[in-house]
Amino acid sequence: MFETISYETRGKTAWITLNRPDKLNAFTSLMHKEMVSAIKEANKDSSVRAVVITGAGRAFCSGQDLTGSTDGTDYGEVLRKGYNPMVQALVTMEKPVIAAVNGVAAGAGMSLALACDFRIASEKASFIEAFIHVGLVPDSGNLYFLPRLIGHAKAMELAVLGEKITAQQAKEFGLVTKTVSEEEFMLEVETFAEKLSNMPTKAIGLIKRYLNKSWESNLNEVLKYEAQAQKIAGESADHQEGLHAFLEKRKPVFTGR
């Protein structure tokens, strides 16, 4: 179905794997299109309640493919037509998305990881704001997500100096949810995805929607959003299930409805 990525569902989780390992999974325009299709597919499939994005081979993603000809390319158009729709599809998907960072995440590959809701990093993973080394600026939401995740000063340091940071450093900076040994990495990702996929998906989607909006909102607006979100969550089957399970002293079985 896809040339540059693979897409499969296992249980309630959709797995999207960037699949150009000989180029460390560098992005091409076809990969942008396929990513958007895969994300939309995961979004519309109601049996999917968590999404994992990872890379084939030893890398997560090395950013834009630098081996294609760049003569006369309008990079603004590449962003508007390729990267931006991918980031917007990820952020507006009301399901949790995990970046399973198996190896290096460089340039727009790092941006992709930042745009996900959780990052689990293998001890072998690393992160590089590689843009500066080719005279470019961070893109694909990088300048939005990075300072929000680690603060302005650290974001400036990483973006301008472009130094590689290890998975352990990324954990210390608050960039990743957890780091895991190479041997335990896939099992940990599967376990985490399964945990998320058994949670109240509607409530997770609402948390994601309104946390994103909170950055551009004042307190009164956030109070209004919380009331809107709570009305929707309060009418969900999962809320009823949570209440009944509490009263019956048993574990809830959430269905995502």
108 binds ligand T3D (CB under 6 A): yes
How far apart are CB 27 and ligand T3D at their closest, in Å?
Answer: 7
Restricted to residues 160-199, the positions that interact with ligand T3D (CB under 6 A) are none
* Contacts of 122 by beta carbon, 8 Å cutoff, 6+ apart: 101, 102, 103, 167, 179, 180, 181, 182, 185
Say whether residue 236 binds ligand T3D (CB under 6 A).
no
Q: Taking the complex as a whole, how short is the minimal distance between the CB of residue 129 and ligand T3D, in angstroms?
A: 9
State in angstroms the smallest separation of the CB of 5 from ligand T3D. 16
The C-alpha atoms of residue 75 and residue 103 are separated, in whole angstroms, by 26
Give the bridge partners for 52, in sequence order.
Answer: 15, 98
Residue 246 touches ligand T3D, criterion: CB under 6 A? no
**Contact with ligand T3D (CB under 6 A): which of 16, 38, 52, 63?**
63
Beta bridge partners of 10: 13
- Of 158 and 204, which has the nearer Cβ to ligand T3D? 158
Q: What amino acid is encoded at 158 in this protein? A: L
**Residue in 96, 107, 141, 205 binding ligand T3D, rule: CB under 6 A:** 107
Is-contact 83 33, C-beta < 8 A?
no
Q: How far apart are CA 78 and CA 32, in angstroms?
A: 10
3-state secondary structure of 116: coil
Binding site for ligand T3D (CB under 6 A): 23-24, 26, 62-67, 75, 78, 104, 106-108, 128, 130-131, 133-134, 136, 139
